[in-house]
Structure 1
Amino acid sequence: MPKKSNAEAAPKSDAHNETSGPQPFKNLISPAVVRKLAELVREAYPDFKHRRFSKRCLEKLDSLELKARAQHIGEMLWEELPSEPETALDIVRRAIESLPTLEEDTSFDTWLFFPLNSLLSAHGTKSWKASMKLIPEVTKRFTAEFGIRVFLNTDHDRILPHLEKWAADPDPNLRRLVSEGTRSRLPWGEQIPAFKKDPSYVLPLLETLRDDPSEYVRRSVANNLNDISKDNPQVTLKIARRWLQDATPQRRRLVKHACRTLIKKGDAECLKLLGYGSPKIAIRHFSVSPESIQLGEKLKLSVELESTQSAEQQLIIDYRFHLVKASGSTAPKVFKGAIATLPGKSKKTVIKYFHLKPISTRRYYTGSNSVDLLINGKNLATVTFHLTVP
């Protein structure tokens, strides 16, 4: 997603009201977004039936979630444009070219570009020529990481020259498109099965961007490598080992972020590569309080560590929750804890709070749950607590 979302940049939009508080995430694509898009397209295409377009979009907008709203608006827009794909896509490009880029102004309501990603996904391959002109313009103002994926799945060799060109572009948003758009497992995006099976296509592009001057771009490179680690862990480890040679602090941060899934899994090779060996410590105390909570309350985890060696140790402390599912069984979920330096023969107390509250991506159920204490990937202690869901 872009650097600054509409929720940050435009707090007075339909998605947020100062008196009523935050609204559902889907409201980021609001009636105001539809009206603005209609206005822009009408300026580029005077014959555009803007009132009909707006009415058709708004008739079912309220019943749809965010992604479905984007798809619905994108489809309604396509149906109101000329039937010749190159002409239609060129109209969309001209409609947005007058808008400020992310580098110029982050206050604009950028969520109107999400439907344009949907339009590209559904119809962009009908005119590659026009789409290759539209994608950069969308990227400079929001992101086209979702809209580009259909081209990668259709014919990734055909789009490669464009990716290589964008990787050298002065605009960091276009450079980031190359690393983020080619992620095999992009959240919210269409997966790319070919890259999950064989990521070699992507690797030269990541090599080009690994020392990019923009942290925004480097973070995206790390995200791509992390995706690769889920299907091809040895590829990520091989790259990490090579990139850590004579690495700058910035590149070391990139590699560590790229290895976060392997770290959570306790991959011994990865942890050793990053300087986290087998922990030489004793757990003097590991507790949870309260031992019984209601959904919506906070859980406190407290651990007292004692080093059993004279040398200093670098520790990654994580917590693996085994949460009750609807079936009564449990499923593991690892949450980040802390990164700590433990001097030789010393003690350290680490306290972590977890707020167990309702969220859209996770359901909680009444029952007994457990938490494993993971230090450098090793499970060193376990506590249990009871959660009651009203």
Structure 2
Amino acid sequence: MINNIKRSLGIALWFMFLTLPLMVVRVNTLKNEVEWRWLNMFWVGLGAFVLSLLWRYALHRRNRRSQKAELGEDEQAGPGLGQRLLEDPKVFRPVLIALGVVAVVFPLLFDTYQVNIMVLALIFVVLGLGLNITVGLAGLLDLGYVAFFAAGAYTYGLLNSNFGLGFWTCLPLGGIIGALLGVVLGFPILRLRGDYLAIVTLGFGSIAKIIIENWEEVFNGAKGIANIDRPGLFGADFGISEVTIYIYYLMVLLVLFTIFVTNRLKDSRIGRAWMALREDEIACVAMGIDMARTKLSAYAFGAFWAGLVGVIFAARNTYINPNSFTFMESAIVLSIVVLGGMGSIIGVIIAALVLILMPEYLRAFADYRMLVFGAVMVLMMIFRPQGLITNVRRKYEFKGLKTDEANG
């Protein structure tokens, strides 16, 4: 402890020395004099000292957890928060009820702007859950996921503006188009892994954006598609606030549907094949699993949700252009999956809400919000590399033998 305090004091003095010209010395050009702000140096030193102590304490806790994990002492400590949240009815039932009540009354308590932000966050929740199938369950890195998102949005935009098709007709079509593009992407990269897979998927996303920008006869180029119809309900006309609330409840239902389907897929035969492929591709093929079909299904199912929510994105904005589908969107969705926890449904939902809502509510600190965003990601990768909520593997135990011995 004393050594940590000494090192923290040394770091504080070093920071005070480095920031002396910026934080202490200020030249007043009006009065032609130098102002010395020594109080700023004190706050810099105090902040550096406290942060250094907290950093060392966090590293010490992480090392202790690693040692306990190596010795097998964590299993005796009981289930963690993620496991209790998934398996303990006394925990997840009240949480689900509370979340359901909050989701229902949210548009009644907040204005249209807040509801619109929450709709965007829910869109990224579905995108994160879709990419979680490809990356989290199957272990197939995809840096061009935004291409499937754009496919769904442009499917609705083109069909609505050129042929007058409505939202509900184009909603499943957007998902199907996205799934077909997922299969198209999957075929050339069946035998690629690691960095090569990342480069190809990144190129696929860039090619999709370039095609949308330059094929003006079909996609209207950089001008985009405007005046896209909002979703309707039996021909009723809604105002902006009413249609925003309507899209919000629609997104809540889509998130619930996505969670249900993703969870069922995760526990199904194809889901177990995805996880086996993620752990060891050679062993997976040796056990008789069709590698090509498993990879193609992972890309298709992941792309389906991106295409589906792309239709809702186009209907929400009523205008789309290529700048809405850049690599930054793919990076954000991938960050959601990694920070939430690979394969963890609840973790992905929490990460999506945090990463999308945090920049919006930090607009008062516009000059520093990206710094905070980057610092949060760095800290997560250091102290929680497994994500916010670790994906809990199911364990099957045979207890019949112990029962027979007790009876005997």
TM-score bucket of the superposed structures, by smaller chain: under 0.3
Higher helix share: 2
Q: Which has the higher strand share?
A: 1
Tell me which of the two structures has the higher relative contact order, counting C-alpha pairs closer than 8 angstroms and 6 or more residues apart. 2
Higher-Rg structure is 2
Report the TM-score when normalising by structure 2.
0.19
